[in-house]
Amino acid sequence: MKEHLLALKEEALEVLEKVETPKELAELRVKYSGKKGALTEILRGMGKLSAEERPVVGQVANEVREAIEEVVNRKQDEFTKAETNERLQAEKIDVTLPGRALPQGGLHPLNKVIEQIEDIFTGMGYRVAEGPQAETDYYNFEALNLPKNHPARDMQDSFYLTEDLLMRTHTSPVQIRAMEAMKGETPIKVICPGTVFRRDDDDATHSFQFHQIEGLVVGKNIRMSDLKGTLLQFAREMFGESTEIRLRPSFFPFTEPSAEVDVTFVKKNGERVWIEILGCGMVHPKVLEMGGFDPEVYSGFAFGMGVERIAILKYGIDDIRHFYNSDLSFLKQFARQ
């Protein structure tokens, strides 16, 4: 029996070394060491052996079984590694290829203009001040020299939330709040950006909701010439060094004297024209008083501009509604600017 076991070992090892597929390996494993395999068949004859032979044959049988299992396991590892390598080769990623760039957004054109205006004025020493969009009648009108039943209120049809609370019609209330916060101390140099609301019908040049940036300077010996110089510097930084401005007399309840400001603008045909961009003036003495300043000691100037109007001129846009329609074909062009 010992000779049969050694012969089986030699045969099995020789055959197993030549195996080429996992299926064939599994079949041979069953053939040689399975429950009904050749090794088991030989060991069934151990009952006929003497007591002295059985331990010796048992040891040889274990050695044969271990030798067969060792080859089977080694071959199985080889097949597994080969399969893994084959799969890795088929699934590998070429890391030298350039990555697929994700689409990136950009600032809305109105936000770009607001940031540019803020940069210009903060560069002149102004700070940015903000206030609530739902404003009281006092700050929106009365503190700005617009008492109840004043005819100038008709210029600003309003969205009232209560009898005394409305959606602000301009960012001028922030100027009053800024003066109050200073408690009579100067200088004051602020710009006030924000959204405002008026009961306008939407068309190419109007919207019920739009954006303004207003500015306020208060101190001693502030003059109209300071206002003009400030606005000229702003216009040239916004529209180009060759830009000129002119001031035309106008009326605003919260400034006296008041003016409309035009800038030179070159049309597509090369014609140079004047286009209005903002209103301004010296702060009215009553407004200074409401803000806590003695108009006999202090003076100031204020200005206000529509962000949409500046953006329309800067980018050559013909309809204000383009800013609000969320049309990606329109907005994408500004992401690259």
**Binding-site annotation: residue ranges for Mg(2+):** 256
Residue at 158: amino acid letter: S
How crowded is the C-beta side of 260, counted as CA atoms within 13 Å?
10
In the chain, which ranges are E strands? 127-128, 134-136, 159-160, 165-167, 188-197, 209-219, 245-252, 255-266, 272-283, 299-306
Is 279 within 8 Å of 250 (Cβ atoms)?
yes
Q: Report d(CA 157, CA 136) in Å as an integer.
A: 15
Residues making up the binding site: 256
Strand 159-160 and strand 188-197: the pairing is unpaired
- Torsion angle in degrees (nearest 10) through CA of 72, 76, 77, 83: 160
Instruction: Note the Cα 14 to chain centre separation in Å.
Output: 69
b/e sequence 255-293, b meaning 16+ C-beta within 10 Å: beebbbbbbbeeeeeeeeeeeebbbbbbbbbbbbebbeb
Residue at 94: amino acid letter: D
Task: Give the end-to-end CA distance of the chain in Å, rounded to a whole number.
Answer: 92
CA pseudo-torsion sign 38, 41, 45, 46? positive
Is 218 within 8 Å of 283 (Cβ atoms)?
yes
Instruction: Note the Cα 261 to chain centre separation in Å.
Output: 35
